Amino acid sequence: MDPWAREVLGASPILVVEGARQVGKSTLVRVLADGPDVFTTMDDDLTRAFARDDPVGFLRSAGERRLVVDEIQRCPELILPLKAEVDRDRRAGRFILTGSANVLRLPNAEDSLAGRAMTIRLHPFAQAELSRRPSDWVTSVLAGANPSAVASERVDIVERVVKGGYPAVQGLSPKLRVAWLRDYANRLVERDAADIAPAQVPALRHLLAMMSAAPMAELVFERLAQELGLARATVQRHLEILEALFLVERLPSWSRNLTKRQVQRRKAFLTDSALAVALSGMSAEHLNSPRGSDHFGPLLENFVVSELLRQQGWSATDFTLSHYRDRHGAEVDLIVETPHGVLAVEVKASTTARPVHFKHLIALRDRLGGEFLGGVVLTTGSGQRAGDRLAAMSVASLWEPLG
């Protein structure tokens, strides 16, 4: 991410580094420091008052140096003056903004800064980063990687799912990790949400709990509205707040018809599997037990989607992610769409792939023909070839070298 950020700073007047709190935005900005950069934060009351009362003076206060504005979502009134300042002087690398909320969704942010800013999204750590093993799963699979090169133990996969990728929790005990994650979510809902839009905190908390209890479920707003006792439009606004805080994301439905993609149901998932585990009251012991098998499947799917979203940032292959469901009920957990075709992925909590797991992959292969680049069933065990453009692979292949 560091080399790409430097390249952006060499071309764009503004670099926006966005992502949830505690994912390393400030660390990245310090790494990017170029001499005597001026660092400010909108978490400081006096600095925020200065920026609101005299935005032009604030933006010019760094002189010829770079101005770093941390937590810009707390002062959206700066966006329009920032546009004017960049139009006055378009030197590259003048400003770095960091935001723990999606800048484009801020109230009072009256301009998108299109053509003036480029954005880098930071996620919690990918498992490849935690393991310090460079991994580009999509590129490796498309290049014909050996599916049996990596094997795993279910207990190790469960441990990674419950730990997730937030840097701060990696060395904590299970009890302390759960406490940290719950406190983290509560603080975002109770305090940071107010920077985005007016919201009913109890409803926001309840909606997040529902998303945690049913990761990767299709969004049915009528059902959510009935459960929450709110109007459908209100539920949609609350979900948008959770998305703007980088707590929840949506996975679109895949179709060859681009218009149909926009109207078909999306799936919702938490941006980090550990957060889903903590908020739903699960534990590694429960997920490793026979009683926890039903809960582990959706969490594992959430985990896989999150891992691939993180790898998008450095993958040599340009790809997008979606899910597939046809009118006959055939479903594929994940469609990885590339400029050359699609890779279809099923995620199974079992240690071995069975023939039935390939049923919908085969149907999609036969329908797409040459556009179908491959079908993979990810399991918690080992892998093997399974037919024409089909294979079983371990979930651990997402971070272990594929040979």
Residues 6+ away with beta carbon under 8 Å from 80:
109, 110, 111
Same domain, 173 and 110: no
Give the span between the Cα atoms of 246 and 240, in whole angstroms.
Answer: 10
| Burial class (CB within 10 angstroms; exposed 0-12, middle 13-18, buried 19+) of 285 | exposed
Judge whether residue 151 has pLDDT over 60.
yes
Same domain, 47 and 17: yes
Same domain, 291 and 256: yes
Q: Is residue 73 part of a domain?
A: yes
Query: What average pLDDT score do residues 100-121 get?
Result: 78
- Residue 298 and residue 333 in contact, taking contact as beta carbons nearer than 8 Å: no
Query: What average pLDDT score do residues 28-52 get?
Result: 92
Query: What average pLDDT score do residues 341-362 get?
Result: 96
Q: What is the pLDDT of residues 163-191, one digit of tens each?
A: 999 999 999 999 999 999 999 999 999 98
- Residue 137 and residue 127 in contact, taking contact as beta carbons nearer than 8 Å: no
pLDDT-derived band at 263, boundaries 50, 70, 90: very low
Domain extent, residue 44, equals 2-121
pLDDT-derived band at 104, boundaries 50, 70, 90: low
pLDDT-derived band at 386, boundaries 50, 70, 90: very high
Same domain, 88 and 172: no
Overall residue count recorded for the chain in this entry: 403
Judge whether residue 257 has pLDDT over 70.
no
- Residue 155 and residue 400 in contact, taking contact as beta carbons nearer than 8 Å: no
pLDDT-derived band at 291, boundaries 50, 70, 90: confident
Same domain, 231 and 354: yes
Q: Is residue 42 part of a domain?
A: yes
Domain CATH code at residue 61: 3.40.50.300
As a whole number, the mean pLDDT across the chain is 92
Residues 6+ away with beta carbon under 8 Å from 119:
15, 16, 17, 18, 103
Q: Is residue 403 part of a domain?
A: no
